[in-house]
Structure 1
Amino acid sequence: MNTDNHRPRSREAVPHTEGWTLRHEGEALPAQVPGCVHTDLLAAGRIPDPFIGRNELDVDWVGRTDWEYETTLGARDTAHERTDLVFEGLDTAAEISVGGEVIGRTANMHRGYRFDITGRYAAGGAATPVSVRFTSAYAAADAVREQIGARREAYPEAAPFIRKMACAFGWDWGPILVTAGIWKDVRLDHWSTARLDRVRPLVTVEGSAGRVEIRLDVERTDRAAGRTLTATVRVGGQEVSGSFDGDAATVTAVVPDVDLWWPNGHGAQPLYDCEVTLHDEDGAALDRWSRRVGFRTVEIDTSADAHGSGFTFVVNGERLFVRGVNWIPEDIFPSRVTTERYRERLSQAAEAHVDLVRVWGGGIYERDDFYDVCDELGLMVWQDFLFACAAYPEEQPLRSEIEAEARENVARLMPHASLVLWNGNNENLWAFRDWGWEERLAGDSWGEGYYLGLLPRVVADTDPTRPYWAGSPWSGSWDHHPNDPAHGVTHSWDVWNVADYTDYLDEVPRFVAEFGWQAPPAHATLRRALPGEELRPDSPGMLHHQKASDGNGKLERGLARHFEIPEDFDRWHYLTQVNQVRAVATGVEHWRSHWPLSAGAVVWQLNDCWPVTSWAAVDGDARLKPLWYELRRLYADRLLTVQLREGRPVVHAVNQSARPWHAEVELRRMSAAGDVLGRERVTLVAEARTVASAPVPDALLPDAASGEEYLVADADGLRALHVPVRDLAFRYPVPEYEVALAPDDGTGEGVGVVITAHTLLRDLLLQADRLAPAAVADQGLLTLLPGESVTVRVRGWESPDAAVARAALFVLGQP
Structure 2
Amino acid sequence: MKDYGFKIFRSCGVLLLLVTSWAWGNQRTTTTLTENWHIMQLDTDKPDVAALTRSAASPNQMWLSSRMPAQVHEILLQHGKISDPHVGKNAADSAWVGDKDWAYSCVFQSPAGDKGPVFLRFDGLDTLATVYLNGIKIGDFNNMFRQYKVDVREQLSPTGRDNVLVIIFSSPLRFIEQVVRPERHKGLPKHKWLRKSHGDFSSYLGARPHAVKVGVFRDVLLDVPGLSWIEDVWVRPGLAADFKHASVQVSVDIGGAEGIFNWILKDPSGNQIKSGSIGPSENGSGFQIAVEDPKLWWPRTHGDQPLYQLDVTLTDRNELLDSRSVRFGIRDVRPVLKDPQTSENRFRFDVNGKPIFMRGACWAPLEGMTHCWDTERATRLLDLLEHGQMNVLRIWAEGHIPPQEFYDECDKRGIFVWQDFMFGYNMHPSGEPQFDENCRLEIEGMIRMLRNHPCILLWVGGNENHMGWNFGQGTNPPVGLELFHKIMPAACAKLDPDRLFHASSPYGGKVANWPLEGDWHDYSTLKFVPEASVPLYASEVGRASAPSLSSMKLFLSEEELWPEGYSPAIRTPGRAAWPEMWQYCSVDGSWDKVGRVGDYCDPATAVELIRVLGMAHGEYLRDRIERERRGVPDGEADGNRQCWGNMIWRLNDSWPIIYWSAIDYYLEPKIPYDFVRRAYDPVLVSFERTQDRIAIWVVNDSPEPVSGNLQVKRLQFNGDLRGQLEKHVTVGPGQAKRCLVTTDLGPVYLRNEFLHATLGEREAVYLLTGERYLHLPNAKLTASAVGNKIEISTNVFARTVSLEMHEVTGAVFEDNFFDMVPGQKRTITVINPAGGRIVTVEALNAKPVRLRMD
Q: Deviations over 1:663-706 (max 9, x none)?
A: 312211123444321112122211222123234242314436x5
For residue 633 of structure 1, what is the aligned residue in structure 2?
Answer: 678
TM-score, reference length from structure 2: 0.85
The alpha carbon displacement at 1:8 in A equals: 4.2
For residue 180 of structure 1, what is the aligned residue in structure 2?
Answer: 214
Q: Does 1:197 align with 2:210?
A: no
Q: Does 1:622 align with 2:661?
A: no
Q: Deviations over 1:204-242 (max 9, x none)?
A: 22342333322233332xxx4xxx433333223322333
The alpha carbon displacement at 1:784 in A equals: 1.7
The alpha carbon displacement at 1:29 in A equals: 0.3
The alpha carbon displacement at 1:141 in A equals: 3.2
The alpha carbon displacement at 1:790 in A equals: 3.1
1:491–1:534 Cα change, 3 Å:
closer
Contact 1:76 1:122 in 2 (8 A): no
Aligned positions of 1:492-507 closer than 5 A: 492-494=522-524, 496-498=525-527, 507=533
1:262–1:145 Cα change, 3 Å:
farther
Q: Does 1:9 align with 2:26?
A: yes
Contact 1:69 1:132 in 2 (8 A): yes
For residue 597 of structure 2, what is the aligned residue in structure 1?
Answer: 559
1:393–1:529 Cα change, 3 Å:
same
For residue 142 of structure 2, what is the aligned residue in structure 1?
Answer: 107
Aligned positions of 1:6-85 closer than 5 A: 8-25=25-42, 27-85=62-120
For residue 712 of structure 1, what is the aligned residue in structure 2?
Answer: 756
1:694–1:127 Cα change, 3 Å:
closer
Mapped to 2, the partners of 1:697 and 1:124 lie a distance apart of 83
Mapped to 1, the partners of 2:219 and 2:657 lie a distance apart of 30
1:315–1:105 Cα change, 3 Å:
same
Q: Does 1:471 align with 2:504?
A: yes
The alpha carbon displacement at 1:298 in A equals: 0.6
Q: Secondary structure of 1:779's partner?
A: coil
Contact 2:426 2:469 in 1 (8 A): no
Percent identity over the alignment is 25
1:332–1:699 Cα change, 3 Å:
same
For residue 408 of structure 1, what is the aligned residue in structure 2?
Answer: 445
Q: Secondary structure of 2:249's partner?
A: strand
1:638–1:28 Cα change, 3 Å:
same
1:134–1:678 Cα change, 3 Å:
same
1:568–1:59 Cα change, 3 Å:
same
Q: Deviations over 1:451-495 (max 9, x none)?
A: 1211111011001121111121112xx6x332222222111212x
For residue 313 of structure 1, what is the aligned residue in structure 2?
Answer: 349
1:577–1:522 Cα change, 3 Å:
same
For residue 601 of structure 1, what is the aligned residue in structure 2?
Answer: 646
Q: Does 1:229 align with 2:229?
A: no
Contact 2:37 2:66 in 1 (8 A): yes
Q: Secondary structure of 1:404's partner?
A: helix
For residue 811 of structure 1, what is the aligned residue in structure 2?
Answer: 844
The alpha carbon displacement at 1:552 in A equals: 2.9
For residue 245 of structure 2, what is the aligned residue in structure 1?
Answer: 209
Q: Does 1:291 align with 2:317?
A: no
Contact 1:325 1:602 in 2 (8 A): yes
The alpha carbon displacement at 1:532 in A equals: 4.0
298-307 vs 584-593, greater mean Cα deviation: 298-307
Mapped to 2, the partners of 1:527 and 1:713 lie a distance apart of 39
For residue 199 of structure 2, what is the aligned residue in structure 1?
Answer: 167
Q: Deviations over 1:475-527 (max 9, x none)?
A: 2xx6x332222222111212x3357xxx9996221111111111111211111
Find the partner of 1:722 among 752, 766, 769.
766
336-345 vs 57-66, greater mean Cα deviation: 336-345
The alpha carbon displacement at 1:597 in A equals: 1.8
Contact 2:544 2:591 in 1 (8 A): no
Number of paired residues?
775
Q: Does 1:433 align with 2:462?
A: no
For residue 172 of structure 2, what is the aligned residue in structure 1?
Answer: 137
Contact 2:233 2:326 in 1 (8 A): no
Q: Secondary structure of 1:528's partner?
A: coil
Find the partner of 1:779 among 804, 815, 821.
815
Contact 2:549 2:606 in 1 (8 A): no
Letter in 2 for 1:205: L
Find the partner of 2:433 among 396, 400, 403.
396
The alpha carbon displacement at 1:409 in A equals: 0.7
Mapped to 2, the partners of 1:701 and 1:359 lie a distance apart of 48
Contact 1:152 1:437 in 2 (8 A): no
The alpha carbon displacement at 1:797 in A equals: 8.1
Contact 1:199 1:411 in 2 (8 A): no
Letter in 2 for 1:527: K
Mapped to 2, the partners of 1:326 and 1:553 lie a distance apart of 21
Mapped to 1, the partners of 2:410 and 2:451 lie a distance apart of 13
Letter in 2 for 1:407: E
The alpha carbon displacement at 1:812 in A equals: 6.0
Q: Secondary structure of 1:138's partner?
A: helix
1:793–1:212 Cα change, 3 Å:
closer
The alpha carbon displacement at 1:765 in A equals: 1.8
Q: Does 1:266 align with 2:302?
A: yes
Mapped to 1, the partners of 2:744 and 2:401 lie a distance apart of 56
For residue 570 of structure 1, what is the aligned residue in structure 2?
Answer: 607
Contact 1:607 1:617 in 2 (8 A): yes
Find the partner of 1:703 among 748, 759, 765.
748
1:42–1:702 Cα change, 3 Å:
farther
Q: Secondary structure of 2:216's partner?
A: coil
1:114–1:799 Cα change, 3 Å:
closer
Contact 2:700 2:734 in 1 (8 A): yes
Letter in 2 for 1:524: S
Mapped to 2, the partners of 1:799 and 1:286 lie a distance apart of 52
> Please, which runs of 5 or more residues in structure 1 have no aligned partner?
none
715-724 vs 533-542, greater mean Cα deviation: 533-542
Mapped to 2, the partners of 1:254 and 1:812 lie a distance apart of 64
Q: Does 1:326 align with 2:366?
A: no
How large is the RMSD of aligned CA atoms in angstroms? 2.8
Contact 1:702 1:709 in 2 (8 A): no
Mapped to 1, the partners of 2:549 and 2:695 lie a distance apart of 38
The alpha carbon displacement at 1:76 in A equals: 4.0
Letter in 2 for 1:542: W
1:757–1:378 Cα change, 3 Å:
same
Letter in 1 for 2:444: R
Q: Secondary structure of 2:326's partner?
A: strand
1:171–1:278 Cα change, 3 Å:
farther
1:246–1:619 Cα change, 3 Å:
farther
TM-score, reference length from structure 1: 0.89
Mapped to 2, the partners of 1:812 and 1:203 lie a distance apart of 57
Find the partner of 2:548 among 507, 522, 531.
522
1:774–1:511 Cα change, 3 Å:
closer
> Please, which runs of 5 or more residues in structure 2 have no aligned partner?
1-20, 44-61, 267-272, 563-576, 632-639, 849-854
For residue 458 of structure 1, what is the aligned residue in structure 2?
Answer: 491
Find the partner of 1:736 among 755, 779, 783.
779
Mapped to 2, the partners of 1:110 and 1:315 lie a distance apart of 30
107-116 vs 532-541, greater mean Cα deviation: 532-541
373-382 vs 170-179, greater mean Cα deviation: 170-179
1:813–1:769 Cα change, 3 Å:
closer
Mapped to 2, the partners of 1:118 and 1:142 lie a distance apart of 37
Letter in 1 for 2:579: S
Mapped to 2, the partners of 1:187 and 1:785 lie a distance apart of 60
525-534 vs 577-586, greater mean Cα deviation: 525-534
Find the partner of 1:342 among 378, 392, 412.
378
